[in-house]
Amino acid sequence: MLPELCTTGYAFTGRSEALEYSESADGPSVGEWRELSSHHRITIVAGFCERDRDGAPRNSAAVIDAGGACSIYRKTHLWDREQTTFIAGRAPPPVLDTAAGRIGIAICYDAFFPEVMRTLALAGADLIAVPMNSPAATPAPPSAAPASEIVLALAAATVNRVYVAQADRSGPERGITWSQASAICDPDGRLLAGPIAGTGLLQARCDLRRARDKRLGGANDVLADRRTELYDQVAARARTADVTPTKEMVN
């Protein structure tokens, strides 16, 4: 895995600069990853600035399977100034069958939404891969506290019983510093690797078969125990009222 927008950097001045550094899905970066994937028989997930067929910039991730087959996901939840730079994707985050296992894809802010991570788990993801460029919180959390991005990854792994691997970046860019929240989490919510300061490589041995067992203790199952008929009622009323859910709606 490589971070979000790893071919260009993140802090564009606007859409025109993003387009200047963008490349198509069959451009040189994806082409090189495909060669590396085929040569080493590995699966690669990497973020890049894509120029789509209409000439618009996209915040995208390439998933290249061992042997070179490539799928592209375009970020659907755009953060802050990304909304004036990129066109949001319209297709939901996918789960892809690869030589490494069933991989779900989310890009940075996508993973902030529990609905995204749960939907990927429901679709059968063994591991959710999250390329990211996450700006450091201001003010910084207490030194003993983990970054919120690590807490969210551990929580998503636990409540969905999946592996979560996220690749963040390091080094300053145009006044931005980064959370450096690269991590690999297991279905029990344990941190197998990371985070690290500066550049580096995280590795962990993951038995992806564990992510297919959603049992929690002897009597529970994190997917089978859902009460979807209750959630549907709240969601329907919220859509009808077009308001923030009230105390009455959540009781």
CA–CA separation, 173 vs 180, rounded Å? 13
As a whole number of angstroms, the distance between CA 18 and CA 251 comes to 46
Other CB atoms within a 10 A radius of the CB of residue 164 amount to: 29
Report how far residue 164's alpha carbon sits from residue 121's, in angstroms, rounded to the nearest whole number: 11
What sign for the dihedral angle of Cα 67, 68, 72, 78?
A: positive
Cα distance between residue 192 and residue 204, in whole Å: 6
Residue 26 neighbours by CB under 8 Å, 6+ apart: none
Alpha-carbon span 15 to 19, nearest angstrom: 6
Catalytic residue numbers, as ranges: 4, 75, 108
Q: How far apart are CA 61 and CA 136, in angstroms?
A: 22
